[in-house]
A and B are shown apart, each in its own frame.
Chain A
Amino acid sequence: GAVVSQHPSRVICKSGTSVKIECRSLDFQATTMFWYRQFPKKSLMLMATSNEGSKATYEQGVEKDKFLINHASLTLSTLTVTSAHPEDSSFYICSARVRAQGEQFFGPGTRLTVL
């Protein structure tokens, strides 16, 4: 099956700093990538949809200036949490899709802790 990786798997940062999370499709080209956020024992909340070469589409309530998404190539999307605060601490998961109505493959997630 297709493999999606995320880096880093775990990051701890100080309040006010920015953190970049990478999502890579390792053995396929992903036309669309999705970023989710998950709180402990909760479901996944879609944050944004990222299409290669175009601006990301953010879900209602998600601050685009806070969560910067770049999808520069068919195998890489990045999520940058700018000026992170403790309330941004969460589990961030990306997924990648090959084509329309194709299966989504999920990355292993990144645990962000903001002190």
Chain B
Amino acid sequence: SQQGEEDPQALSIQEGENATMNCSYKTSINNLQWYRQNSGRGLVHLILIRSNEREKHSGRLRVTLDTSKKSSSLLITASRAADTASYFCATDKNQGGKLIFGQGTELSVKP
């Protein structure tokens, strides 16, 4: 069963605005990862945050992890039309590398 729940399911913003997506999970994890998927394509790994980390940055991406609330957020700052895609969180419970994906957030950035 899918562990991750993401909200919002869909998000539409204007170019230049920030986009925030949230992910919640139910059991303890080893790490949490965020992926991006363009329509009909494979997944691109964005960032991994370990269970003992609280915040991580990569370019315009900022990820937070709150293990007490079992939640994570992905912030994309100064969004661009090219950021339009689906974003998924995935949790790794240290079970041989298995990833459990959330339902995803469909982000639309309008120019």
Binds A, one of B11-19, B40-48, B58-66, B77-85: B40-48
Q: Which residues of A contact B103 (CB under 8 A)?
A: 42-43
A49 and B42 in contact, given A43-B103, A44-B88, A101-B30 (Cβ under 8 angstroms): no
B2 near A: Cβ within 8 Å? yes
Interface residues of A in 29-67 (CB under 8 A from B): 32, 34, 36, 41-46, 49, 57
- Residues of chain A touching chain B, judged by Cβ–Cβ distance below 8 Å, are 4, 6, 32, 34, 36, 41-46, 49, 57, 91, 93, 95, 97, 100-109, 111
- Residues of chain B touching chain A, judged by Cβ–Cβ distance below 8 Å, are 2, 4, 30-31, 35, 40-45, 48, 88, 92, 94, 96-104, 106
22 A-B interface contacts by CB (under 8 A): A4-B42, A6-B42, A32-B97, A34-B99, A36-B101, A42-B103, A43-B101, A43-B104, A44-B43, A46-B100, A49-B96, A93-B42, A93-B43, A95-B99, A101-B30, A103-B45, A104-B97, A106-B35, A107-B42, A108-B41, A108-B42, A109-B42
Which 4 pairs, one residue from A and one from B, show the smallest C-beta to C-beta distance? A106-B43, A108-B42, A106-B42, A44-B101
